[in-house]
């Protein structure tokens, strides 16, 4: 109980009277301490404590300072925060490693977006405290407009082990000031889906110079999503599957 009260007290009062530089320094400190208690002085409770403080402080900071939607947060990024921003500067996804996993990495996400004249902040819809779902981190955001509606396509990355990885595109849209993260824009053999992606063997692409990898990409001019074909062993081949946006859905081009 004392632990919960302390987190609530710190997260509720930490931004009062402090400038943005001080808050960013505190965010940076939490990320560094998470890594310290993960690797240098292993203590899972301390990792969880600083992760909880980091998330609450980040959400409060983004909520109380709308200008952060277009702020680099360079020092926090250097400490481990990953930021994917849409080209129109209206949607961001903040991701970080919670340091609660091993070779399977567990991430958490916070969404920030602008609707009308107001900037909103939302936490991820899933809880990484349940280690059954590692979630993903986001490296890029594409945009697409159709029928007067704008869609955001976040490139997600998952690390299941040193070898087993995944990358794909998840669809979002903003409706009546709310972020909809379950936009079923793709038609697959399993039915309508809110994402398209692949699982692959990291070592089959380890020699690529680019980081992060750009395996799953979107062509805005052609409105197509391109994904490499992966063989039965997880190796990324030089063949591709194309999904084209037709009549409201991305459908595989035969």
Read off the pLDDT of residues 99-123 as tens digits, 9 standing for 90 and up: 999 999 999 999 999 999 999 999 9
**What confidence category does residue 242 fall into, taking pLDDT thresholds of 50, 70 and 90?**
very high
Contact 213, 201 (CB under 8 A): no
The overall average pLDDT reported for the chain is 91
| Closest to 139 in 3D by CA, of 166, 121, 114, 160 | 166
Per the confidence metrics, is the pTM higher than 0.85?
yes
Q: What percent of the chain has pLDDT over 90?
A: 85
pLDDT for the residue 135: 85
| Closest to 110 in 3D by CA, of 126, 132, 95 | 95
Read off the pLDDT of residues 119-170 as tens digits, 9 standing for 90 and up: 999 998 665 444 456 789 999 999 999 989 999 999 999 999 999 999 999 9
| Closest to 135 in 3D by CA, of 95, 192, 172, 184 | 95
């Amino acid at each position: 109980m004392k632990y919960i009260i302390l987190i609530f007290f710190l997260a509720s009062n930490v931004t009062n009277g402090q400038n943005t530089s001080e808050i960013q320094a505190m965010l940076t400190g939490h990320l560094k301490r998470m890594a310290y208690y993960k690797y240098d002085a292993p203590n899972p409770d301390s990792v969880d404590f600083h992760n909880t403080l980091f998330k609450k402080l980040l959400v409060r900071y983004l909520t109380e300072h709308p200008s952060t939607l277009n702020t680099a947060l360079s020092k926090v990024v250097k400490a481990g925060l990953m930021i994917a921003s849409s080209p129109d500067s209206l949607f961001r996804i903040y991701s970080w490693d919670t340091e609660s996993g091993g070779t399977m990495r567990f991430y958490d996400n916070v969404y920030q977006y602008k609707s009308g004249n107001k900037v909103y902040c939302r936490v991820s819809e899933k809880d990484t405290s349940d280690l059954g779902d590692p979630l993903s981190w986001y490296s890029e955001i594409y945009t697409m407009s159709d029928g007067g509606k704008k869609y955001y396509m976040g490139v997600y990355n998952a690390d299941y082990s040193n070898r087993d990885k995944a990358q794909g595109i998840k669809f979002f849209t903003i409706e009546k000031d709310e972020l909809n993260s379950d936009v079923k824009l793709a038609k697959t053999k399993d039915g309508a889906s809110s994402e398209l992606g692949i699982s692959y063997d990291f070592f089959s692409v380890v020699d690529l110079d680019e980081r992060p990898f750009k395996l799953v990409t979107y062509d805005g001019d052609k409105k197509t999503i391109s994904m490499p074909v992966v063989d039965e062993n997880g190796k990324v081949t030089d063949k591709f599957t194309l999904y084209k946006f037709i009549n409201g859905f991305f459908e595989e081009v035969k």
